[in-house]
Structure 1
Amino acid sequence: MNLQHLTSIVYPFNTSMYRNVLVLVCVFMLSSCNVVKRVKSDEHLITINTILEDGDKVTDERINNIIAQRTNSGMRRFLGFPLKLHIYNLARPNIDSILYANVLSDSSKVNRRTALLSKKQFDKLMESRRNFNSWLKRTGEAPVIYDEDKTIKTASNLRKYYYSKGWFNNEITYEVDKDSNKLAQVTYKVKKHKPYILDSITPYISSPAIDSLYDKFSKNSLLKKGEQYDEQNYETERERINSYLRNAGFYHFGQDYIRFEMDTINTNHKVHTDIIIANRTIRGDDSTTTRPFKIYKIKEVNIFTDDNFNNRNKPITDTTTYKDFNLYSKEKLRFRPKALTDAVFINKGDTFSALAQSRTSRYLNDLQMFRYPNVDFIENEEDTTLTANIYLEPKKQYGLSFDPEINTSNIQTIGFSFSAGLKIRNIFRGAETLEISGIAAIGASKTRNDPESAFFDINEFGGNIRLTIPRLFSPFNTDKIIPKYMSPSTAMSISATSQQNIGLDKQSLSGIFSYNWFPSKTVTNTLELFNVNFVKNLNTSNYFGVYQNSFSRLNSIARDINYIPNDAFLQDDELGSNRYQPADVFIDDVLVGNTSLSASDDDYLTVNNIDERKERLTENNLIFSTSFDYKIDKRNNIFDNDFSVFKWRLELAGNLLSSISNIAGLTKNDDGNYEVFGVAFSQYVKAEIDYVKYVDLGRKNVFALRSYVGVAIPYGNSNSIPFAESFFAGGPNDNRAWTAYNLGPGSSKTTNEFNEANFKLHLSAEQRFSLFGAFQGAIFADAGNIWNVLDNVEEDAATLTSFDSLRDIALGSGFGLRYDFDFFVLRFDVGFKTYDPSQVQSKRWFRDYNFSNAVYNIGINYPF
């Protein structure tokens, strides 16, 4: 079939349908590739592994991971297309023979190509073909050939697994179904039979000191009579007992001294367990003795404050004793004693505790004052005491940082920025850290029209001062509420910035006083006692220069009612900074009734909405708030793909200023609001809940889920939320089928440049899978929207009035490609508008579901 004929057939279809058909054809062609291309005649490619547990298929990924010989990646995922296997099949197993047979063996071919390319280029060409062939093999995945030995090993592993869960008499068999196409399917059949149940639990403890504590530490035992046997519970119980005894003073104890002996012979499926805790074993040069374990106490706590390689041979010159702590320094002591002793949880006279040791190490690390703090113990056998020696190597007191940048964006042709920072450690001798930073930036805007104006017409200057104190800075004693093992700290900061750009220009001043503490390894608490933020807009006359869509809508309305004939009030550049003033005059005339528009007209309401939005976005803001953040993060490390993160935040703003204004009897402005320094302060309550869950499906397959809800309700001195505190939807980390600020509110089809509201709901689900090499793929669905609720917005389409409004939840779906650089992930996502609430009811589903209307997102790291 020639190309012209093909074109004539395809032409009647629309572009979107053609793309879909083309994709299906490509998938079909790739799927029809021969997966057994590299499988020998006497071999079979494994396509399916199935585990049947008492006749039911096992879907638990943990059990399926026991299989020793897995199928090729993608064999049962990603449309059933084993991409890596096909890439591997593209490689030639005998590339050197092929090159020799096709090229190198023919001297005339070699001579012609050498004459055309040169000898060096010809050699590089041959080498590149070899390298590409090797790359295909490395990137791809060799076919998984059925191996009887690995199948037997899998059966053995399954037998061990079910045995470990209490089915001691389990039976494992397997069947292999091989066909004439060199494909094989393996089915493992599990018969569990009756499980074994825990019955008697009897302790045999050699050391009297440990035996006397058995009743205490056995109360929380994980081995409970009547429960089914589980080998993991025995291991966890072993660790629990070890931890308890190590924290109860038994310095020499280790979990190797704990063992379990089980009796299941003629017990009618009962398990009788003996817990055996042996005496301490002491190994000498040529003999081994045993002794009962003893409880050790702390005799002395010594802190060596400047231990490092350079002064290792210097004598100690400064000695201080503070609250039973001995502090030694080879130079003048740089820290106040209390700053160091507050970080130590090992106290003179206390019973030895491994937990106190680990807390001390963690707290000293959290101070960020020392390099690798070390805690050692010296045993005094005569009186069963320990001397604790803590070695500290202080970091340099001063640290400088410089960060120059060159960048471009959608608003500037080129920009230069330079930031610098100074860090001063232990500034007040109490392990405090003072950080001073500043930024200076200039840029040339893309909308610069005046050739006589300065080329660099964008600038920003700012500075920040932050002081971190490693304790709660408070006139009250908070140790009983927030003990020091929670690593409490206080942060105080003040910052100021000034921006001049193509927008409104602004100056801002902010200050924060906050407390941070960590009740456990997974929980973080932050209390911002005071957060003050003042924003002053400098160039409000340029509002319609920034929000051009609003200006265009006003201009269109003015034309329609013949407010000014022809060009209405199109801006005149000769007016300079006042070129948008006619728009303000038009708004005033509409609202006071000097035009043909009446208050019931839709155009009148549009003008009124534009005016209200302009007033809100150009007004100066004063926010004085208090907030609390709670976060529980169960992720063990950056490689953990099976965890959850839960966060919630509550913020109250304006209550203190409102109370003071009311008590002081201050007068209100014309809008009925109190003002401080000529600015009406904001008053609202804001709450946010965020939950993220990762499920590891094995073989680099991860299912990720995120849910978020946020609401900010104005009251008292405010009837709307400041722009900086409102919510938006869309963007690479939100609903990826819409660009940032382009979704919502509700079902309104607004053309505003920045859409925001005070209520947000968001849900995301993403399936991530490995493709080849460092490349990863993903398919995702994002749902959510923003609405106005309990504020001054009255437009029905933009407000949340009832549960019926939730029909305006937007749905986006798509796929993505990622490249993992180990230290960060480069992400590319394509989002399609699957359900668009801004369309009419009958045309919301798959209205613009095509590549021409898709949104392309580039981001760093995962969206959540």
Structure 2
Amino acid sequence: MKINQFLLLLVAALIFSACSNTKYLAEGELLYTGANVKVKGDSLSSKSTAYFEENLEGLVRPRSNSSILGLRPKLWFYNIAGEPKKDKGFKYWLKNKMGEPPVLFSQVDMDYNTKLIQNYIENKGFFNARTSADSSASGKKATSTYTVQLGARYIIDSVRFPNDSIPLTIDIKATEPNSLLKTGNPYDLEVIKTERDRIDAKLKEVGYFYFNPDFLLAQVDSTAGNHQVDIKMKVKDETPILAQRTFTIGNIYVYPDYSINKDTLAEDSSAAIYYKDLTILDPENKFKPSVFDRSLLFKKGELYNRTDHNKSLNRLVNLGTFKFVKNQFKPSDSIDGALDAYYYLTPLAKKSIRLELTGKTNSANYLGTDVTLSWRNRNALRGAELLTISASAGYEAQYSSNNSGFNIYRFGGEASLSWPRLITPFNLESSSAFIPKTVAKLSFDFQSRSQLYALESFKSSFGYQWKDNIRKEHQLNISEITYVRPFNVTDLYKDQIIQNPSLGRVIEEQLIFGPTYKYTYTNTMETAKTNTIFYQGSADLSGNIVGLVTGANAKEGEQKEVIGVPFSQYIKLENDFRHYLKLGPGKELASRIIVGAGIPYGNSTQLPFIKQFFVGGTNSIRAFRARTIGPGSYNFEVDDNAFLPDQSGDLKLELNSEFRADLFSIVEGALFVDAGNIWLLNEDEQKPGAAFSGDFLSELAVGTGVGLRFDLQFLILRTDLAFPIRVPYFEKGNRWVLDQVDFGNSQWRRDNLVFNLAIGYPF
């Protein structure tokens, strides 16, 4: 049977099975297929009417069985599983994990839903609305229908804030210019609640520690006029005295060795350390007092504000030294109108050792494992510094490419020290909620590619990491040095270099040094947003000052050396932008564009191999084998059993789009399209068609495919099946190959279908 016929038969079977769900119902039972809400009235536009109908349908309970294109596969799985005889096994898994029980019409309380809808619509300002309910049945299926007659919507005619000489009401009045309640806007109870929260937040910034939104009352008068309301904000009469006054910061106490199993406050205060505004009870002198002075943003005598309160807690947590962080404010016994602040910090174990076994994949279609043994000291110099020393070993095999058999073995070690402050000649302070860090690293890595060569690399870096807020992060290495030395190059690889001289660049001795900078912005943690983005931009500079001072000019034969090795001189920029669009529950459209450019100059005529761009593979253009695309329209043909060289370039453009949808249980499906290529900045006689030109769009590789993602909680296992629809190295005019797609042809499948196995999403 041909694949196309099989797929048609499978779809038909699913439709028949889904339609037969009602045969499992008992006599007199009806399958509930959902609710329809009809909103009627002349006061809303068609768009607003659709908005209200959608939101009101979301309120109705219970929800019907989930469906895909009108089919209910989860219900079908539940039904065909029958009654499992025990709480395990395939039938139990199919019924309880893959399936879901039928939602019956008898479970629907239409009176309750009517009241729910009526309450919602009145809270939106339709005080004269009327809601009715009805139902209909067809065969063994039933639906409910709710009709809402809106009437006129009430509009805000005036908003009044308290206007007297009491300090609290003066401060409330001061927030009025930014009020969410605007004359002419529709009445909305949710906006009123949000307004109370807004006023409370403003008061917390000016010392009103004990105030809360419940002390505010919004008096609504709906008799003001023709479908209009007057709103008056006032402070409730029963508001406590403490909530009506402002507080400053009094004494600040820090307990850095607090245990939840004992009363630390009972310790002898004579052991206290007094440092600036802080009183620190640290009998064993485990921490330098300056750690807490830098972390806590409060100063004695300042007016209390919620921003510094939250930032201080966040900074203590981000030290990474404490297991639990909590604080308490109490009216001071010694300072009138002040709050004494208490910080209780429970340390993590100072030293720890950890063994990790990791499975991994990369864009080069390598599948492998790493084992890492690491030792940590979370308070190495008594200043919450993190010292990490690790050793690792790994193995990688390329399972779906000409490079299978040329496996990679590696081992190495790294030492890093992170200080929770910026170590600079200048006195730089940060008021961010995130502690800035200074990080120094030193690492060694040995990599052996079986049958080909081995590389030793040494790397050191010194730089800074800091966040403006939860969305914006910076990483600046003011010094990053990489030295790579090859050895044990085999005759096989030397023969390959003769055929393709660019392979020689992989085993060149390399010295790279200079600053790097990376900026990341993301709001993807805001799960309620329909649109979220991720952006990462990086700049990598090497040998710029040294090249300028020495007058290096490789093109003119004036290549300079440092410690006997020619150093690299270049500028490399890369931008990665991603957009995520929520299309509904469990549905998302993810898109990405990557633009990168590397410009060698001075002491270099091309980028070092480890800094060049690559495309193709599991996290790139999935319809092409890893690193086989480009540069440009260039194609390096090899025998099936020969080593396939990685194709690299100075310029990169990549575009991806992927539709993701939950299917059932732990399984998510995906449809995707990928496009892109790399190019050389300059012409290369050995690689015709590789240079970037104005015709670059015609050289984009394009592929498409489908995939499944399995959410295993601790990781996401991803499988993708892709095929090319545009091949850049084909003759111009014949690069689109969509008309050649033939799933029923075994030869076409062997030549074009690419299976990708990976861990995590591609982007």
Query: Contact 1:834 / 1:849 at 8 angstroms: preserved in 2?
Result: no
Q: Is it true that 1:395 corresponds to 2:348 in the alignment?
A: yes
Q: Is it true that 1:178 corresponds to 2:137 in the alignment?
A: yes
Quote the residue 1:25 is aligned against. Answer: 9
Match of 2:738 among 845, 850, 857: 845
Quote the residue 1:307 is aligned against. Answer: 258
In structure 2, what is the Cα distance between the partners aligned to 1:131 and 1:541?
Answer: 52
Quote the residue 1:84 is aligned against. Answer: 74
Query: Contact 2:86 / 2:92 at 8 angstroms: preserved in 1?
Result: no
Give the AA of the match of 2:311: R
Match of 1:683 among 570, 577, 581: 570
1:388-431 C-alpha deviation (Å, 9 max, x unpaired):
12223333332222346899999999999753322223322322
Percent sequence identity over matched residues? Answer: 23
Quote the residue 2:417 is aligned against. Answer: 467
Quote the residue 1:197 is aligned against. Answer: 155
Query: Contact 1:249 / 1:297 at 8 angstroms: preserved in 2?
Result: yes
In structure 1, what is the Cα distance between the partners aligned to 2:246 and 2:688?
Answer: 73
Larger mean CA deviation between 334-343 and 65-74 belongs to: 65-74
Shift of 1:651: 0.6
Structure 1 pair 393–28 and aligned structure 2 pair: CA distance change class (3 A): closer
Quote the residue 1:769 is aligned against. Answer: 662
Q: Is it true that 1:631 corresponds to 2:520 in the alignment?
A: yes
Give the AA of the match of 1:490: T
Shift of 1:460: 3.6
Quote the residue 1:246 is aligned against. Answer: 204
In structure 2, what is the Cα distance between the partners aligned to 1:533 and 1:702?
Answer: 43
Larger radius of gyration: 1
Quote the residue 2:402 is aligned against. Answer: none
Structure number with greater CO (CA < 8 Å, separation at least 6) is 2
Shift of 1:845: 0.7
In structure 2, what is the Cα distance between the partners aligned to 1:350 and 1:248?
Answer: 10
1:197-220 C-alpha deviation (Å, 9 max, x unpaired):
323111237892212223432222
Structure 1 pair 400–206 and aligned structure 2 pair: CA distance change class (3 A): farther
Match of 1:342 among 287, 294, 301: 294
Query: Contact 1:789 / 1:801 at 8 angstroms: preserved in 2?
Result: no
Secondary structure at 2:160 match in 1: strand
In structure 1, what is the Cα distance between the partners aligned to 2:311 and 2:696?
Answer: 51
TM-score under structure 1 length normalisation:
0.75
Structure 1 pair 636–43 and aligned structure 2 pair: CA distance change class (3 A): same
Quote the residue 2:505 is aligned against. Answer: 616
Quote the residue 1:370 is aligned against. Answer: 322
Q: Is it true that 1:858 corresponds to 2:761 in the alignment?
A: no
Report matched runs for 1:670-749 at 5 Å: 671-677=557-563, 678-695=565-582, 697-698=584-585, 701-717=586-602, 718-749=604-635
Secondary structure at 1:364 match in 2: helix
Report matched runs for 1:787-826 at 5 Å: 787-788=678-679, 790-793=681-684, 797-802=689-694, 804-826=695-717
**Unpaired segments of 5 or more residues in structure 2?**
41-45, 400-405, 638-643, 744-748
Q: Is it true that 1:831 corresponds to 2:711 in the alignment?
A: no
1:38-71 C-alpha deviation (Å, 9 max, x unpaired):
2345444344644455577847865542232433
In structure 2, what is the Cα distance between the partners aligned to 1:192 and 1:390?
Answer: 54
Please provide the CA RMSD for this pair. 3.8
Quote the residue 1:296 is aligned against. Answer: 247
Report matched runs for 1:481-492 at 5 Å: 482-483=430-431, 485-492=433-440
In structure 2, what is the Cα distance between the partners aligned to 1:136 and 1:431?
Answer: 51
Give the AA of the match of 2:754: V
Structure 1 pair 697–368 and aligned structure 2 pair: CA distance change class (3 A): same
Q: Is it true that 1:258 corresponds to 2:149 in the alignment?
A: no
In structure 1, what is the Cα distance between the partners aligned to 2:466 and 2:554?
Answer: 40
Q: Is it true that 1:236 corresponds to 2:236 in the alignment?
A: no
Report matched runs for 1:323-472 at 5 Å: 323-331=276-284, 333-380=285-332, 383-403=336-356, 419-440=372-393, 460-472=410-422
Secondary structure at 2:315 match in 1: helix
Shift of 1:778: 0.8
Structure 1 pair 238–402 and aligned structure 2 pair: CA distance change class (3 A): same
Structure 1 pair 196–415 and aligned structure 2 pair: CA distance change class (3 A): closer
Shift of 1:666: 5.7
Quote the residue 1:782 is aligned against. Answer: 673
Report matched runs for 1:662-673 at 5 Å: 662-665=548-551, 671-673=557-559
Q: Is it true that 1:536 corresponds to 2:492 in the alignment?
A: no
Give the AA of the match of 1:712: A
In structure 2, what is the Cα distance between the partners aligned to 1:404 and 1:388?
Answer: 43
In structure 2, what is the Cα distance between the partners aligned to 1:531 and 1:727?
Answer: 19
Shift of 1:363: 0.8
1:309-351 C-alpha deviation (Å, 9 max, x unpaired):
47956535533222222222223x2322212211111211111
Shift of 1:300: 1.1
Secondary structure at 2:257 match in 1: coil
Query: Contact 2:224 / 2:230 at 8 angstroms: preserved in 1?
Result: no
1:142-177 C-alpha deviation (Å, 9 max, x unpaired):
333335844454444444444444444445456644
In structure 1, what is the Cα distance between the partners aligned to 2:713 and 2:225?
Answer: 54
**Unpaired segments of 5 or more residues in structure 1?**
1-9, 11-17, 96-125, 283-289, 447-455, 546-579, 588-606
Shift of 1:31: 0.7
Q: Is it true that 1:66 corresponds to 2:75 in the alignment?
A: no
Give the AA of the match of 1:476: F
Structure 1 pair 205–796 and aligned structure 2 pair: CA distance change class (3 A): farther
Larger mean CA deviation between 127-136 and 156-165 belongs to: 127-136
Query: Contact 2:705 / 2:723 at 8 angstroms: preserved in 1?
Result: yes
In structure 1, what is the Cα distance between the partners aligned to 2:70 and 2:454?
Answer: 55
Query: Contact 1:398 / 1:425 at 8 angstroms: preserved in 2?
Result: yes
Structure 1 pair 52–859 and aligned structure 2 pair: CA distance change class (3 A): farther
1:203-239 C-alpha deviation (Å, 9 max, x unpaired):
2378922122234322222222233333332222222
In structure 1, what is the Cα distance between the partners aligned to 2:361 and 2:524?
Answer: 36
In structure 2, what is the Cα distance between the partners aligned to 1:131 and 1:392?
Answer: 48
In structure 2, what is the Cα distance between the partners aligned to 1:809 and 1:41?
Answer: 61
Give the AA of the match of 2:169: D
Query: Contact 1:493 / 1:512 at 8 angstroms: preserved in 2?
Result: yes
Shift of 1:713: 2.7
Query: Contact 2:248 / 2:337 at 8 angstroms: preserved in 1?
Result: yes
Query: Contact 1:439 / 1:462 at 8 angstroms: preserved in 2?
Result: yes
Quote the residue 2:102 is aligned against. Answer: 143
In structure 2, what is the Cα distance between the partners aligned to 1:709 and 1:457?
Answer: 29
Shift of 1:241: 1.3
Secondary structure at 1:537 match in 2: strand
Q: How many residues align?
A: 726
Larger mean CA deviation between 844-853 and 390-399 belongs to: 844-853
Shift of 1:680: 3.4
Query: Contact 1:167 / 1:195 at 8 angstroms: preserved in 2?
Result: yes
Secondary structure at 1:388 match in 2: strand
Quote the residue 1:504 is aligned against. Answer: 453
In structure 2, what is the Cα distance between the partners aligned to 1:742 and 1:53?
Answer: 57
Query: Contact 1:625 / 1:651 at 8 angstroms: preserved in 2?
Result: no
Quote the residue 1:318 is aligned against. Answer: 271
In structure 2, what is the Cα distance between the partners aligned to 1:461 and 1:631?
Answer: 30
Match of 1:217 among 134, 151, 175: 175
Secondary structure at 2:291 match in 1: helix
